[in-house]
Structure 1
């Protein structure tokens, strides 16, 4: 299996659920965006040895994100702001600029093919994010690597069609299962 050069430890979305629900009004099953983004920040922090960002988790991520939205964009953060991938991209790119990192978050939104996921990992040698209809309202997972028939993923909530999965973690999902959820957004960490 071809794997990204740095794979942060799995982060189970359910572990942060109560705190995020009470502080940000984000339901436990709606935190995948922040979970994916904190994984991506940790991977870059490990790659560039930025110690203070290496232990970020989902609730730290949402706290930082909310503070940046308020302090830099001068807006009060609503639940919709927390769900917007454009706002997450802006925040991560702003954070990377703060640390003078030659990295930019890029997003492709359309029907995503397995070949595009694999090409992104080959090109950047980094984890990528994938959004699809893993659940009825949509879900985001981290892709760590691939082989000819499957993807190595971190799914912070557990893949909905696999009813036996009760907790998030690191799994191998077949290419067919990934394509069955109609992936619609690919998030990558590109060199600039």
Structure 2
């Protein structure tokens, strides 16, 4: 197999772990990927199509994928990261959440080339420079005082819980019974 295919298959393997890692064990995903690679490599005359065929077969085997949500807050990257933190805290592994970088100077190695299922803009005036299958705009006001910051975090947490409810995802918070 060519070196280029090795790189493509390694990337594909990581993508499949991202998509199905919440419902399937890593060993199960790796076993299915390895089996698909072996099947398609054995009879391949054109090796360039192996990664595509492996991806199709494995995705068909595992079914639906994890929902991907990206938060964008323009130059207020801390707000987007807080939304990601709240989402991961409430959703666990049920969905993928990340933050968009407004400027590549923030992290030049972090390039967003995938299209998420949802892009959530945290503010009305945020530049709409990200693509998503569905776009949501949360009208979030800037916090200037510690009290406003606490209110903003509470509001953000409530919006995250509402979003999870709309997506049919059960929050994973503390499920311990309350004793009277």
TM-score norm. by structure 1 comes to 0.33
Query: With CA pairs under 8 Å and 6+ residues apart, which has the higher RCO, 1 or 2?
Result: 1
Structure with a larger share of its residues in strand: 1
Question: Radius of gyration: which is bigger?
Answer: 2
TM-score norm. by structure 2 comes to 0.35
Structure with a larger share of its residues in helix: 2
